[in-house]
């Protein structure tokens, strides 16, 4: 997908919501568990219910790999369904991959070409060779971990504080790459001041922001500190949407949760 199309969708739908498909057999409604492919049936219902309120979908690859071949089949069907029925939605393989050049090429093949995702999340620990192969294709976007929202983010990502932290150096170096206009970043929602700092380092980049629940306060802080003139944000919610209800009304409940976030986003975009 071209970036200008993503921006156009955000403007048209008044939404920068990404729905995370962290689909877990143990958490889906019991009436779906007898389906031939429960993960896919769940995802299909969630996607159909939420498509009007979001601009992106993000399957979390671990949740599919945990079921082996059958999980990978559910993943293939899910991304094929989204691409066939909602071609204007941006798709993210949340895979956190990161390996040397020839291996990175194979992961790019897996997620960009075999599965046809628009983007894939990457861990930068191994440096440039782990990222550059994901920048070769037009219309495909590596989303590099910068500052994450989990507790363990504090273990290593702030190393170098005082001069230049690890997460700052990751952003600075990747911004210097050929085709760097296609690099996106994972930036956690929990530290608004840091969001602003990373926005200053990468004024035009899209940020994928996890860590916003149904809390409007956080969302406003993310928007105020992280947005740019083309919005530049995809805010993800997973469990708060897809597990809004564990009953037969799960899809309707997911739609309501997604709509609630979308309305908050509409208000922010109009402000």
Task: Indicate whether 153 belongs to the interface with a copy of itself (CB under 8 A).
Answer: yes
Please, which residues have CB within 8 angstroms of residue 18's CB and are 6 or more apart in sequence? 54, 55, 56, 57, 58, 90, 92, 208, 234, 235, 236, 237
Task: Indicate whether 160 belongs to the interface with a copy of itself (CB under 8 A).
Answer: yes
CA distance 121 to 107: 11
Total residues interacting with a copy of itself, rule: CB under 8 A: 54
Q: Give the nearer residue to a copy of itself in terms of CB position, either 127 or 139.
A: 127
Task: Indicate whether 91 belongs to the interface with a copy of itself (CB under 8 A).
Answer: no
Task: Indicate whether 48 belongs to the interface with a copy of itself (CB under 8 A).
Answer: no
Q: Which two structure tokens, joined as six digits, stand for 58?
A: 């993000």
Q: Are 29 and 247 in contact (CB under 8 A)?
A: yes
Minimum gap (Å) between residue 2 Cβ and a copy of itself: 25
Q: Catalytic: 220? A: no
Task: Indicate whether 104 belongs to the interface with a copy of itself (CB under 8 A).
Answer: yes
Task: Indicate whether 150 belongs to the interface with a copy of itself (CB under 8 A).
Answer: yes
Query: At what angle are helices 216-226 and 192-201 packed, to 10 degrees?
Result: 30
CA distance 157 to 254: 33
Give 122-128 contacts, CB < 8 A, sequence gap 24+: 122/95, 122/96, 122/97, 122/98, 123/96, 123/97, 123/98, 124/98, 124/170, 124/174, 125/98, 126/98, 126/99, 126/100, 128/173, 128/177
Site mask for a copy of itself (CB under 8 A), range 14-33, x = bound: --------x-x---------
96, 191, 260, 266: the catalytic one is: 96
Q: How many CB atoms lie within 10 A of CB 190?
A: 20
Minimum gap (Å) between residue 134 Cβ and a copy of itself: 12
Minimum gap (Å) between residue 73 Cβ and a copy of itself: 5
Task: Indicate whether 240 belongs to the interface with a copy of itself (CB under 8 A).
Answer: no
Task: Indicate whether 80 belongs to the interface with a copy of itself (CB under 8 A).
Answer: no
Task: Indicate whether 169 belongs to the interface with a copy of itself (CB under 8 A).
Answer: yes
Task: Indicate whether 107 belongs to the interface with a copy of itself (CB under 8 A).
Answer: yes
Please give the C-alpha separations between residue 124 and each of 101, 119, 171, in angstroms, as whole numbers.
13, 15, 10
Q: Give the nearer residue to a copy of itself in terms of CB position, either 177 or 269.
A: 177
Task: Indicate whether 60 belongs to the interface with a copy of itself (CB under 8 A).
Answer: yes
Task: Indicate whether 68 belongs to the interface with a copy of itself (CB under 8 A).
Answer: yes
Give DSSP secondary structure letters for 129-187.
GGTGGGGSSTT-EEEEEEE-SSTTHHHHTTTTTTT--HHHHHHHHHHTSTTGGG-EEEE
Site mask for a copy of itself (CB under 8 A), range 209-228, x = bound: --------------------
Active centre residues (catalytic):
96
Q: Which residues bind a copy of itself (CB under 8 A)?
A: 22, 24, 60, 62-63, 65-69, 71-73, 76, 94, 96-104, 106-107, 109-110, 114-115, 123-130, 145, 148, 150-157, 159-160, 166, 169-170, 173
């Amino acid at each position: 997908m071209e970036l200008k199309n993503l921006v156009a969708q955000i403007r048209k739908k008044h939404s920068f919501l990404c729905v995370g498909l962290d689909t877990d057999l143990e958490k889906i409604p019991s009436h779906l568990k007898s389906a031939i492919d429960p993960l896919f049936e769940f995802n299909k219902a969630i996607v159909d219910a939420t498509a009007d309120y979001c601009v992106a979908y993000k399957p979390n690859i671990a949740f599919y790999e945990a079921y082996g071949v059958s999980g990978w089949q559910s993943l293939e069907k899910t991304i094929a369904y989204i691409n066939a029925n909602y071609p204007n939605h941006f798709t993210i393989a949340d895979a956190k991959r990161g390996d040397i050049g020839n291996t990175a090429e194979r992961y790019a093949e897996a997620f960009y070409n075999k599965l046809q995702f628009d983007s894939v999340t990457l861990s930068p620990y191994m440096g440039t060779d782990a990222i550059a192969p994901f920048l070769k294709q037009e219309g495909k976007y590596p989303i590099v971990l910068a500052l994450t929202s989990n507790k363990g983010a504090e273990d290593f990502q702030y190393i170098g504080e005082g001069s230049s932290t690890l997460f700052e150096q990751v952003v600075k170096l990747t911004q210097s790459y050929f085709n760097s206009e296609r690099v996106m970043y994972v930036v956690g929602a929990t530290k608004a001041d840091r969001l602003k700092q990373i926005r200053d380092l990468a004024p035009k980049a899209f940020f994928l922001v996890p860590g916003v629940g149904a809390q409007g306060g956080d969302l406003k802080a993310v928007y105020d500190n992280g947005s740019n003139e083309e919005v530049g944000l995809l805010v993800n919610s997973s469990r708060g949407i897809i597990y809004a209800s564990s009953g037969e009304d799960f899809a309707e409940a997911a739609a309501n949760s997604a709509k609630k976030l979308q309305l908050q986003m509409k208000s922010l975009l109009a402000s």
